[in-house]
Amino acid sequence: MSTPEYLTGKKEALGEFIAKYDVFLFDCDGVLWSGDHLFPGVPETLDLLRSQKKRIVFVTNNSTKSRQDYRKKLESMGIPATVEEVFGSSYSASIYISRILPQSHPEVKKRNKVFVVGEAGIETELDSEGIPHIGGTDPKYRREVTPEDYKLLAKGDPSVLDPDVGVVLFGLDFHFNYLKMCYAYHYIQRGAVFLATNMDSTLPSAGALFPGAGSISAPLVKMLGGKEPMSFGKPNQAMMDAIEGKFQFDRAKACMVGDRANTDIKFGLEGKLGGTLAVLTGVSTKEEFLEGDTRPAFYVDKLSDLLEGA
């Protein structure tokens, strides 16, 4: 396996690196910012790429925000962006549910309501595709389980289990609880398709790690004897196909930039992009990138190190 090339401080190599690609796909958390803390020099770095007519796409596994929310977040941090430049895992999942699932699972045509375990971003993207949904941010599901719940769920009573639900979609849910686990399990046991926006085990914030969407669906995986959900975030290639479908770019002239070996870098490598660039401001360590199974072509200490390649 080849050793990733370290570009920080190497002006000429940085210039060549930038010149080589037309499209830069950016992971956001851990690359552009951590939580609400924007890394210094990031807006300037993106300005530099834009000034050289590079196409920029923000690819995020964060399911709690819709594309609109993400555009607003980017803008509030001083990074101008359009909704079309944002690809999120909730959007990716919604596209799949509305366009692909009815083909592969004909029963979903009749029962196309989604039980959501997640935040508003998922609901917004499902709405944008016209998919009916329940659960999600509905306060009805933010409470303790009662003896009555057990009885009604056990007998599949339609007053609690909506017969139109054919899909259970998990994302990151800050309001995850025992009751939602019960509902999700009983819908899946009654034939609903088990999906997850993404399988990131952790979420970087404030310079540390917190539970990610993959940890929210983990109890269901355990209850189902190890059965994993179909998922749509990086490194799943459903998202790469959607991005390519939209922008019609040449994969050989595209570079994925990210902080996680097993999601971002894997996403770029499996997508057969021309390049992959790792930054050391997020989850994976230098050792993981240099000695692990999934190695980027290039790495820098931080994204703004690219400025020296101007």
Which residues of the shown chain bind a second copy in the complex (CB under 8 A)? 35-36, 144-145, 147, 150-151, 153-155, 173-178, 181-182, 185-186, 189, 201-202, 205-212, 214-216, 218-223, 225
- Other CB atoms within a 10 A radius of the CB of residue 194 amount to 21
| Positions of E strands within the chain | 5-6, 23-26, 33-34, 37-38, 55-60, 86-88, 113-117, 133-135, 165-170, 193-196, 202-205, 208-211, 230-231, 254-258, 275-279, 298-300
Q: Is 234 annotated as a binding residue?
A: yes
127 is catalytic: no
27 is catalytic: yes
Nearer to a second copy, 67 or 260 (CB): 260
Nearer to a second copy, 84 or 174 (CB): 174
| 3-class SS of residue 173 | coil
Among the listed residues 22, 29, 127, 164, the single catalytic one is: 29
Q: 51-70 as b/e, with b when 16 or more CB fall inside 10 Å? A: eeebbbbbbbbbbbbbbebb
Nearer to a second copy, 13 or 181 (CB): 181
Beta carbon of residue 145, minimum distance to a second copy (angstroms, whole number)? 6
Beta carbon of residue 10, minimum distance to a second copy (angstroms, whole number)? 32
Q: Is 250 annotated as a binding residue?
A: no
- Other CB atoms within a 10 A radius of the CB of residue 8 amount to 16
| 3-class SS of residue 115 | strand
Beta carbon of residue 57, minimum distance to a second copy (angstroms, whole number)? 27
Q: Which helix (H) or strand (E) holds 90?
A: helix 89-95
Nearer to a second copy, 132 or 150 (CB): 150
Beta carbon of residue 250, minimum distance to a second copy (angstroms, whole number)? 36
Compute the half-sphere exposure of residue 97: CA atoms within 13 Å on the CB side of its CA. Answer: 38
Residues that constitute the known binding site? 27, 29, 234, 259
Residues tagged active-site: 27, 29
Known binding-site residue numbers for substrate:
234
Which residues sit in the known binding site for Mg(2+)?
27, 29, 259
